[in-house]
Structure 1
Amino acid sequence: MNRLAALVAGLALLSSTGCMHDGEWSVSRALGWDDNPGFDPKNPPKASLPVAERVEVLGRKILAQNTFTGIEPLIFTAGVKESVLFHHGTEQLWISEGLVNKCKTDAELAAVLCAELGQMVAEKRTAKNVGRDVDPIRDASFGGSPVLGGGTPVDAGQQANLAFHEKRFPRGNRGVDATDAAQAARDLLKGAGFDPADLDRVAPLLKQSERGENIRKQMGSSAPAPDWKK
């Protein structure tokens, strides 16, 4: 089942059970996110629905029009003001609401997303070349998982599996060539109908998101948890 079909099937199941993001079994309740200053700092607060949907729709478009990538990550939007952009393996891409709001056009947001997706594509190619192309398994045994704003499913089994995979194959040891990652990002932009030159135009935004690497480590339990600014 391809990613889009899986998402549609998942949403249909969630609709039938009432497990959508506005009800009793909301994402904020399921993951412990609320408007309380005492929330678990390892879990960022949820993004506003319009922002999450903007990211989800554009992310799907980029992936659907670039089948060469070999990756089908779930794209998450965290509701924090900081500019944060990072990924876990080839399964998850995280972007903050603060960074999304700094992207004034879809072209800018696409370039930001493609910059990280390009890194993911390059990492997968490098891993394959050295015989370490072992992606974490998508655990489909958890029916009725909650969804993030924009329709992204989440389940505890996948989270645990990703954490194990990230520990076994840490990002920093993959030796990805920056030129390869940049070229992959430009190919993604072109394939999605955007100008590859947009990647250069969003360089200042990407520079602001460098703290994303520290946040990634903190959320992955390899460093003290971040103090999220809501």
Structure 2
Amino acid sequence: MNGSIAAKAPQGKGRTKQANAGDEHLFDRELVDLPPELRWREWMLRVEAVIFAAAEPVGRETLARVLGKDCSIDLLIDDLRAELRDRPYEVVVVAGGWQYRTRSRFAVSIRASQASTRGGAPALSDFEAMVLMAIAYFQPITRGDLSKIFGKEVSRDTIASLRSAGFLASGPRSPTPGAPYTYVTTKHFLAAFGLETLRDLPDIEALEDAGMLSRKGMQDEALDAAEGEEE
């Protein structure tokens, strides 16, 4: 009996692939039977639906799968943004794709409502937030180098917590003795904090020049945060 089940499994899988291929073939991207105005409108609705339904920012390649080959995605997004101008949410570029975000001026109202919201950054301890900020600015960076910045050991548990939240990934091996792993931030980090690329991080030298941040200050704040957690 096991043999017959095993024999049937690939056939079922093959039928599924054939069905998917059939769906792909039948899907009308070009909409040539519609007048230009209605065609554009349908493409806009498709883009809006895909971005709305997606759990992560939607890239250009994904949107192209539901649009005609001559459709300008950028112009379509511009028209969609114009249509949403008076709405409390908008389409923004984050992590190399498009995503719906509530406009910042409604943040106070949302917090006051105490409604459960989707997405966003999970709660981090003060020390985890400081470590994540250091990695974002100085990546790729080893755990040993992080410990030097903070003047105390950055534990594997802290790194594991940030990795579990989807903010960190392993970078290239360091050329230093022992070739330890380095750590880098992920696309999920960009999406969670509303950044299109790492270039959107505030310039650390400008922050230092303005007296808003210093590397020594980062170390002192991290030590205070770590001591608070220990207490």
Q: Provide the TM-score with structure 2 as the length reference.
A: 0.23
Q: Which has the higher helix share?
A: 2
Which structure has the bigger radius of gyration? 2
Q: Tell which has more relative contact order, 1 or 2 (C-alpha 8 A, sep 6+).
A: 1
